[in-house]
Amino acid sequence: GPPHVQSHFASPAQGVPHYMMSPGQFHSPNIHGVPPSPVVDCWGLPGWFPFASGAHMQSAVVRPQPALPHPALAAYDALIKAELQELLKCCNKLGEPIAAYGQAMAVAVKSQRDMIAKALKMKRASSEEMTKMLMPTEAALNRLERLKTAGCDQHEFFRNHLQLLCGACSALGWVTTADPKGYVSDALNAVPVFARKIYEAQSVDSAAASLN
- DSSP states of 198-212 as a string? HHHHHHHHHHHHHH-
- Quote the pLDDT of residue 67: 74
- Quote the pLDDT of residue 155: 95
- Quote the pLDDT of residue 65: 67
Enter the pTM of the model.
Answer: 0.64
Distance CA 203, CA 210 (A): 11
Distance CA 77, CA 55 (A): 46
- Quote the pLDDT of residue 39: 46
pLDDT averaged per 10 residues in sequence order, the chain, 212 residues:
47 49 43 47 43 49 72 90 91 95 95 91 86 92 96 94 94 90 91 93 72 62
Decide: 29 and 8 in contact? Cβ < 8 Å.
Answer: no
Angle at 43 between CA 42 and CA 46, to 5 degrees: 125
Decide: 40 and 20 in contact? Cβ < 8 Å.
Answer: yes
Distance CA 204, CA 210 (A): 10
Average pLDDT for the chain: 77
- Quote the pLDDT of residue 61: 63
- Quote the pLDDT of residue 112: 93
- Quote the pLDDT of residue 8: 45
Residue 107 φ then ψ, to 5°: -65, -40
Query: How many CA atoms within 13 Å lie on the side-chain side of 193?
Result: 12
Instruction: State whether residue 31 is helix, strand or coil.
Output: strand
- Quote the pLDDT of residue 42: 42
**How many residues can be counted in the chain?**
212
